[in-house]
Structure 1
Amino acid sequence: MQIIYWLLVAVMIFGVIGAVVPAIPGTSLILISIIIWGFVSGSFAAIKIPLIVTVFVLILSIGVDFLGGYLGAKQAGASKYGQIGAVVGLLLGFFGLLPTLPFGGPLLGILLGPLLGAIIGEYIYQRNFKLAVKAGIGIVAGTLIGNLIQGILAIAAVAVFLFTTWSQVFGA
């Protein structure tokens, strides 16, 4: 039973990483791991609190994801064009459709794609390169701050799980 516990904790750690890095599943992996532990341990009563906390964190993470990008865009004066450009850039970067870079691979594409997309989208709208760069940086900064907050929330969910189930697995 301890091996399964540690495997699920490893999946949860991957979920914490996914909460911070775009395009990798995050909090949902933590939630799935907790549910699996409920089945394996045969005691959903023992995971009631971590389950509630993780569902709350999942909902909060979705809100933080949208709010981070929105507030960053608003702070920088970005329009909808910049936001749409950032989403298109993220998708292009994720699927590797940006021009090939000599280093960094897809992770760099995921980071650079939204920035370039926001700048291009904002430039199409405003025709002012300086404002477009400012808006692009604002969108990306807001998204990165949102991802960091999601990571902290995910760590909290895993900590609650470990705290409430540790004695169940390893005794007092």
Structure 2
Amino acid sequence: MVILYWLLVVLMVVGVIGAIVPGIPGSSLILIAVVIWGAIDGFTTVYWALGIAILVFLLSIGIDYLAAYWGAKRSGASNWSQIGAIVGLVVATLGLLPALPFGGPLLGILLGPLLGAAIGEFLYRRELEIGLRLKQAFQAGVGIIVGSIVGRLIQGVLAIAAVGVFLWQTLPHVVGGY
């Protein structure tokens, strides 16, 4: 049972990494690990950890959308750039971007939304001259990426807190054997 506990802790660490790195499940892995341990332990030692894991999971979903939206609005981006960022993310996730010489898919997941947002904003701002269109398109792309990075960092902190609560609640029972 102790081995399973530590395997679930490793799964939670992968969840913390996934909360920060796009493309890897994050808070959902933490929640799954807490539920598995709770099912094994009879939910006697995970009541706080389960509540925190559910809260972190729900907040993470909202943070993903709100952080990108906040970054877009702070940079003056239009809805076109937000749609472009989503399309760019999907294209990068599916691997349709050309293979990059370094960074691989993780760099593609950052470049996809940046390029998608910039292209979307460039197409939307037809009334501006080329120089201003390019500047606005670049600002929109950077704003969305900065918002997404800030959101990922917040999710990472929340994921660490959820794992910390789990360890605080369960580790004395596993190590102490009571």
TM-score between the two structures when normalised by the length of structure 1: 0.96
1:103 corresponding residue in structure 2: 102
2:55 corresponding residue in structure 1: 56
Q: Which runs of no fewer than 5 residues in structure 2 stay unpaired?
A: 127-132
2:22 corresponding residue in structure 1: 22
1:39 corresponding residue in structure 2: 39
Q: How many residues align?
A: 171
Question: 31-40 or 94-103, which moves further after superposition?
Answer: 94-103
CA drift at 1:40: 2.0
Percent pairwise identity: 58
1:123-146 alpha-carbon deviations (Å, 9 max, x no partner): 010131100100110011001100
1:140 corresponding residue in structure 2: 145
CA drift at 1:48: 0.7
Distance 1:37 1:7 in 2: 10
Runs of 4+ residues over 3 Å off in structure 1: none
Distance 1:28 1:68 in 2: 19
Q: Which runs of no fewer than 5 residues in structure 1 stay unpaired?
A: none
Contact 1:95–1:106 (Cα < 8 Å) also in 2? no
1:49-128 matched pairs, under 5 angstroms: 49-127=48-126, 128=133
Please point out which of 145, 151, 155 is paired with 1:150: 155
Contact 1:16–1:154 (Cα < 8 Å) also in 2? yes
2:169 corresponding residue in structure 1: 164
Distance 1:58 1:20 in 2: 13
Instruction: Provide the secondary structure at the position in 1 that maps to 2:99.
Output: coil
Contact 1:34–1:161 (Cα < 8 Å) also in 2? yes
Instruction: Please tell me the root mean square deviation across aligned C-alpha atoms, in Å.
Output: 1.1
TM-score between the two structures when normalised by the length of structure 2: 0.93
